[in-house]
Structure 1
Amino acid sequence: MIRFAQLPLTADITSIQQEVQQLTHTWIPHLNTYHYTGNWNVTSLRSPGGITDNSVPDIMQDNQQYNDTPLMAQCPGIKAFTASLQCDIMSVRLLNLQSGAVIKPHRDFELCFEKGEARLHVPVFTNAQVRFLCEDDLVPMQEGQCWYLNANITHSVANHGVTDRIHLVIDCVVNDWVKALFARSDKNEAPDLQDVATKLAMIAALKTHNTDTAKAMIASLEAQLQAQ
């Protein structure tokens, strides 16, 4: 299981920073107010139905599709970066965690590479006092880099700095190109505990069958566990 990874991608951060500063749009508060304190705001550049004020990327109405919002036209640098990703793009948002704000530990269930979706972060503006934790590990994201974060495991963020932290956040569909990209990335990995438990249960069940097939399957499962 990939917990987080720095991907071999870089964005034209100078152009993107200028675009974000010049956006003619009012930020809207993030919907999940239970998960944060302080100010955490959203600007949608691609959303279900292409609706600018839709801050929830995964709530789709019947027959809705992901489309660029009118604000994407003001961000050619961001548009160029998303176009360089050779996969289906779902949502594209700017998330602004203002000075002093804290996102509490939480999970976004099923949102991870292993489940077929990847959430990418490109820090547009950040500071040395931002602490992004994936479980207990600090993820040292810098402006212009591109990172994958496994949102299906517990993560939290605190902005202890005096400036706002703004990330470009892209949700995309995992395909062969994404898999190849991740294969070249600097990954932090850990065993999938649920998968380990499943394999151990299968081994225990197979041991009740004294057959060559069962023994071969046990050997295969044990080899997979050792590889993890």
Structure 2
Amino acid sequence: MSSNRNSQLIGRLTLDPIALQKDLETVNSFPVIQEEYSEFGTGTWLNHSLWNKDGKYSNTLYSDYENTAQITELGQSLPYLNHFITQYFHTQPLRMVRLRNLIDGVVFPHKDFVELTRHKLQYIRVFIALETNFDGFHSDEHNVFRMRKGEVWVLDASIVHAAANFSTKSRKCLCLDFQYDEPTHAAAIFKNAQDYNPLLEPSIMHRTPLNESLDYFDEYLDEMANALRIHGNLSAVLRDLTCLHFHYNIPVTQPLEWLILIAERSGNAEKITEAQDYIQFLAYNRQLQQRFIMA
């Protein structure tokens, strides 16, 4: 098996629109829990824990453990989605199910699993689009793509990736996390082998090339550096830089590199160090339950 598992559309499942809508209306009444990973983005980012390690909906932390996931109090109130999960997927290796909703927000370029202990191919993370709009996107080191309703995407969360929803309408997805004792192919998650279909055509976004050598782009970086001098908010700067990635054909890692450059142009030594530490936290080195506190 290859050492890499790129993000890929691997199936499209039939959703019951009436039963799904009833469950999604229930989701809209869920309590808002403090996001475990709030440093990773801006905007409204709701992360409801439906299945997890201990069955407590307040536990939104993903971690290594051996037993099968337990359905939380919130998860128990969603009969259709539970039926959907058990109908299509093997649940023994399932360790967490979350319903994620991103509204008018951006998830910064980052890596997951860096604080976990297994080989990255022992983790399989799957997203299933439940409620979508034309302004919701995901990306990784290869493409920017849009998930369509019912699509099943395996996401390589161990490489740098990002997400955005530029609309005030919801973008709801189920996030299923599986763990295995050895590197495992993504097809193994399905109960029915025929549901695995990697030949489906994904919705890959065409992005405009960006010429960084143009004078106006250098001026833009200077303006961002000046803004950083004034408000000192690295996450606001990174949000604007990440938005460029979804509109222009630049690598998902580029906003992180530009953040360092802008901090350097600001002339603030503390912001340079903070930017370097922030990027390490987002993409390369952090501990379980570690938080990043902005200065």
Corresponding residue for residue 2 of structure 1:
5
Cα separation, partners in 2 of 1:113 and 1:3, compared to 1, 3 Å: farther
CA displacement 1:165-211 (0-9 Å, x = unmatched): 111111013557617859742499xxxxxxxxxxxxxxxxxxxxxxx
Alignment counterpart, residue 133 of structure 1, candidates 124, 133, 139: 139
Cα pair 2:11 2:198 within 8 Å, conserved: yes
Q: Give the TM-score of the pair, scaled to structure 2.
A: 0.55
Corresponding residue for residue 67 of structure 1:
70
CA displacement 1:95-152 (0-9 Å, x = unmatched): 1111x21100000036899521111101111210112111251122101111111000
Bigger relative contact order, structure 1 or 2 (CA pairs below 8 A, ≥6 apart): 1
Cα pair 2:136 2:164 within 8 Å, conserved: yes
Corresponding residue for residue 90 of structure 1:
95
1:55 matched to 2:60? The reply is: yes
What is the rounded CA distance, in whole Å, between the counterparts of 1:132 and 1:158 in structure 2?
A: 6
**1:30 counterpart SS class:** coil
What is the rounded CA distance, in whole Å, between the counterparts of 1:113 and 1:139 in structure 2?
A: 26
Corresponding residue for residue 178 of structure 1:
188
CA displacement 1:4-40 (0-9 Å, x = unmatched): 1212241425222320212342132421121101121
| Post-superposition offset of 1:66 | 2.5
Alignment counterpart, residue 164 of structure 1, candidates 156, 163, 170: 170
Cα separation, partners in 2 of 1:34 and 1:179, compared to 1, 3 Å: closer
What is the rounded CA distance, in whole Å, between the counterparts of 1:123 and 1:153 in structure 2?
A: 21
- Match for 1:18: what amino acid? K
**2:36 counterpart SS class:** coil
Cα separation, partners in 2 of 1:64 and 1:51, compared to 1, 3 Å: farther
- Match for 1:106: what amino acid? H
What is the rounded CA distance, in whole Å, between the counterparts of 1:183 and 1:18 in structure 2?
A: 27
Percentage of pairs with the same residue: 22
Q: Which runs of 5+ in 1 are unaligned?
A: 189-228
- Match for 2:62: what amino acid? P
| Matching of residues 189-208 of structure 1 within 5 Å | none
1:22 matched to 2:26? The reply is: yes
What is the rounded CA distance, in whole Å, between the counterparts of 1:64 and 1:6 in structure 2?
A: 28
Corresponding residue for residue 76 of structure 1:
79
Corresponding residue for residue 121 of structure 1:
127
Q: Which runs of 5+ in 2 are unaligned?
A: 203-295
Aligned length: 185
- Match for 2:198: what amino acid? S
**2:39 counterpart SS class:** helix
- Match for 1:167: what amino acid? C
What is the rounded CA distance, in whole Å, between the counterparts of 2:151 and 2:13 in structure 1?
A: 5
Cα separation, partners in 2 of 1:183 and 1:34, compared to 1, 3 Å: same
Cα pair 2:48 2:99 within 8 Å, conserved: yes
Corresponding residue for residue 266 of structure 2:
none
**1:178 counterpart SS class:** helix
What is the rounded CA distance, in whole Å, between the counterparts of 1:80 and 1:25 in structure 2?
A: 19
What is the rounded CA distance, in whole Å, between the counterparts of 1:69 and 1:122 in structure 2?
A: 19
| Post-superposition offset of 1:59 | 6.5
Cα pair 1:5 1:185 within 8 Å, conserved: yes
- Match for 1:142: what amino acid? R
